[in-house]
Amino acid sequence: MDEIPYYLAYESRYQKVFSAGIERWGHAPDDKVLFSTLSKWVEENKLQDKRVIEFACGEGAGGEILSKLGCIYHGVDIAPSAIIKAKAAIKQYPQATVSLLDMVNDPILEKYDAAIDIMGFHMLILDADRMKYLKNAFNCFENDAPMLFFRQSYRTTATEEKIETMEQWLHITKSYRTNEFKIYKLKI
């Protein structure tokens, strides 16, 4: 039996948001702080006409902004519903693409000049998952590629303890309890 990752719960959340008639769950391309941050980052790192990958791209707002700024964009996310929205969001940019990918378990085979993660990395709870994610991210970089982590959730009072299981995390934090975050089992 293979496990379906706990972070696939975000697919369920996207589906609920979209079925309620809400256009976007995440950030939007007209977010002034996001646009300003990405504009400065692209300029400082000379990323116009360079290949930029976005991990946990969600509905594609980052892709829209980076494409407007002249980057060759590729976004990846584990949630099929988000990828559908992202494809629609970037369709006017011929060099922009998105694909379904589990950043923890699936390696990225191409090389990129830069990477961003907007509100994605913090969704990983287990330290082993964070380490796999970061290894996959850094393995797809060209030399000295910059990576921007933007709007990541963190707590200064977070535990220093290594988090090895979902159950351990729930016991320590006594928060974020939801039926969506459980260990799924899939029979193959």
Tens-level pLDDT at each residue, the chain (188 residues):
357 777 777 788 888 888 888 777 778 888 899 999 999 999 999 999 999 999 999 999 999 999 999 999 999 999 999 999 999 999 999 999 999 999 899 999 999 999 999 887 777 777 888 899 999 998 999 888 999 888 666 556 665 666 666 665 566 656 554 444 443 333 33
Q: Contact at 8 Å (CB) between 10 and 41? A: no
Question: pTM, whole model, 2 decimals?
Answer: 0.80
Contact 52, 115 (CB under 8 A): yes
- Beta strand ranges found along 12-159 (DSSP E): 51-55, 72-77, 97-100, 114-118, 147-150
Residues in the chain: 188
Helix (H) or strand (E) holding 186: strand 184-186
Q: Where are the domains of the chain?
A: 27-156
- 27-156, CATH topology level: Rossmann fold (3.40.50)
Is residue 42 helix, strand or coil? helix
Check residue 175 and give its pLDDT.
57
What Cα–Cα distance (Å) separates residue 80 from each residue in 9, 50, 53, 101?
Answer: 12, 26, 17, 9
Tokens of 149: 């982590």
Query: Which two tokens mark 146?
Result: 């910059």
Cα angle 135-137-138, degrees, rounded to a multiple of 5: 70
Q: By the 8 A CB rule, do 85 and 60 touch?
A: yes
**pLDDT at 128 (0 to 100):** 86
